[in-house]
Amino acid sequence: MSECLFCKIINKEIPSDPVYEDDLIFAFNDINPQAPVHILIVPKKHIGSLDDVQGTDAELMGYMMLKIKDMAEKHGLTKGYRVVNNCGEDGLQSVQHVHFHLLGGRKLLWPPG
Ligand code: 5GP
Ligand code: ZN
């Protein structure tokens, strides 16, 4: 059994507030939202970080981006949104299962800290 937090969420061993699920990906609301819409999108396959993504994952990564775009539309983010991946120590990645943050519903700041 995986010790990975997001694998446990995908496997429903830990409850979440799901937004979307299919064979390849799982999306759920962030427990500590930074914007009115703050969804985490993860592949069901355990990949530690963006740094661990291989060429064989290219189709999966592209699929995730298209689904993120669909979710943005579904959640009414007509004025725009931000997709974030925090990678590694300097990127402040806190959960070691690659994920994208979909943030929107307010004017976001740039650059991040
Ligand atoms: P990271 O910092 O790795 O890019 O993002 C991890 C995100 O996971 C954070 O935004 C954090 O709030 C969220 N998170 C951590 N633990 C849980 C949890 O148990 N449930 C949910 N829904 N989100 C979590
Ligand atoms: Zn995992």
Write the DSSP assignment of 64-86 as a string of letters. HHHHHHHHHHHTT-TT--EEE--
pTM of the model: 0.98
Rounded Cα gap, residues 81 and 106, in angstroms: 8
Q: Count each helix (H run) and each strand (E run) in the chain, helices first.
A: 2, 5
Rounded Cα gap, residues 77 and 103, in angstroms: 9
Q: Which two structure tokens, joined as six digits, stand for 30?
A: 């962030």
Q: Which helix (H) or strand (E) holds 42?
A: strand 37-43
Task: Ligand 1 pocket test: pick from 95, 99, 100, 101 the residue with the most ligand atoms within 8 Å of its Cβ.
Answer: 95
Of the listed ligands, the closest to the CA of 8 is: 2
* Tens-place pLDDT, residues 13-54: 999 999 999 999 999 999 999 999 999 999 999 999 999 999
Q: What percent of the chain has pLDDT over 70?
A: 99
Residue nearest to atom 13 of ligand 1 (CA): 30
Q: Which residues are catalytic?
A: 99
Rounded Cα gap, residues 16 and 8, in angstroms: 10
Q: Is the CB of 86 under 6 A from ligand 1?
A: yes
Q: Which residues, 6+ apart, have CB-to-CB distance to 91 below 8 Å?
A: 85
Q: Is the pLDDT of residue 1 over 70?
A: no
> Could you identify the atom of ligand 1 that is nearest to the CA of residue 29?
22
Q: Which helix (H) or strand (E) holds 100?
A: strand 100-104
The residue to which tokens 């189709």 are assigned: 59
